[in-house]
């Protein structure tokens, strides 16, 4: 049975989280070609761009969560990184370009949250207190990757007590068929699945 998400999508209580849509992950500096291809082939960036335009127009807040190490990995674990994606995204000793890709660049009023360690947007960052200060009760998760970061951030959003929606056309994984399985068998048991168009339709209907 379809669930009516309108009661949960008061834009003044919503925030869109854009997770790790940065140059060294999905842009020209990416060392993860499969993920970059999945993003481009699936139209993820244009879908996020449309959602962000509507979010700003209707009063929902936009948060960008980025990650990057200091030169030489200062402040990170002294042992080799456990996960392959981190090793590929940030080669040892390299300070990569962690800026948000230009297609969905931040605008005035958006909030940037940067972390130097961990796999979730909430891990040792100011994301939770900033959301609470703004009265946010519903978070809409977008970005990459479904494999790790989107799944982890969704789980942590639930742990922190937020109603959580994942915009399925605004996320990507590598390979795409695995991403679909994570959405179907994991994320839909944690959060509501929706689309950028459904969310925008609800916001626009409420504004009329």
Residue 144: strand, helix, or coil: strand
> Quick one: pLDDT at residue 75?
57
Residue 154: strand, helix, or coil: helix
List the one residue out of 62, 63, 64, 66 whose CA is nearest residue 116.
Answer: 66
Length of the chain: 208
Separation CA 34–CA 140 (nearest Å): 24
Q: What is the pTM of this model?
A: 0.90
Residue 98 CB neighbour total at 10 angstroms? 18
- Whether 3 is in a domain gets the answer no
- Whether 90 is in a domain gets the answer yes
Separation CA 9–CA 66 (nearest Å): 25
- Whether 1 is in a domain gets the answer no
Q: Domain tally for the chain? A: 1
> Quick one: pLDDT at residue 200?
97
Under-70 pLDDT residues of the chain: 1, 70-95
Q: What sections of the chain are H helices per DSSP?
A: 23-26, 33-42, 44-58, 84-89, 127-133, 149-159, 176-185, 196-207
> Quick one: pLDDT at residue 208?
84
Whichever domain contains 103, its CATH number is 3.40.50.850
Separation CA 208–CA 192 (nearest Å): 25
Residues of the domain holding 15: 11-207
> Quick one: pLDDT at residue 88?
52
Q: Write out pLDDT tens, residues 59-116.
A: 999 999 999 876 655 655 555 555 555 555 544 445 579 999 999 999 999 999 999 8
């Amino acid at each position: 049975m379809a669930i009516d998400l309108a009661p949960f999508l008061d834009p003044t209580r919503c925030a869109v989280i854009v997770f790790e849509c940065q140059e060294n992950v999905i842009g020209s500096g990416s060392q993860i070609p499969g993920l970059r291809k999945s993003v481009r082939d699936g139209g993820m960036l244009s879908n996020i761009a449309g959602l962000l335009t509507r979010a700003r127009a209707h009063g929902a807040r936009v948060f960008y969560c980025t990650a990057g190490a200091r030169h030489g990995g200062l402040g990170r674990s002294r042992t080799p990184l456990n996960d392959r994606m981190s090793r590929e995204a940030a080669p040892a000793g390299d300070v990569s370009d962690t800026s948000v890709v230009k297609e969905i660049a931040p605008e005035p009023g958006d909030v940037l949250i940067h972390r130097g360690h961990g796999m979730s947007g909430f891990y040792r960052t100011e994301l939770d207190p900033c959301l609470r200060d703004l009265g946010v009760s519903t978070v809409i998760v977008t970005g990459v990757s479904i494999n790790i970061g989107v799944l982890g951030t969704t789980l942590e959003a639930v742990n922190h007590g937020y109603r959580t929606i994942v915009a399925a056309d605004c996320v990507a994984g590598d390979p795409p068929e695995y991403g679909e399985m994570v959405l179907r068998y994991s994320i839909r048991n944690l959060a509501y699945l929706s689309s950028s168009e459904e969310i925008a339709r609800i916001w626009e209907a409420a504004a009329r």
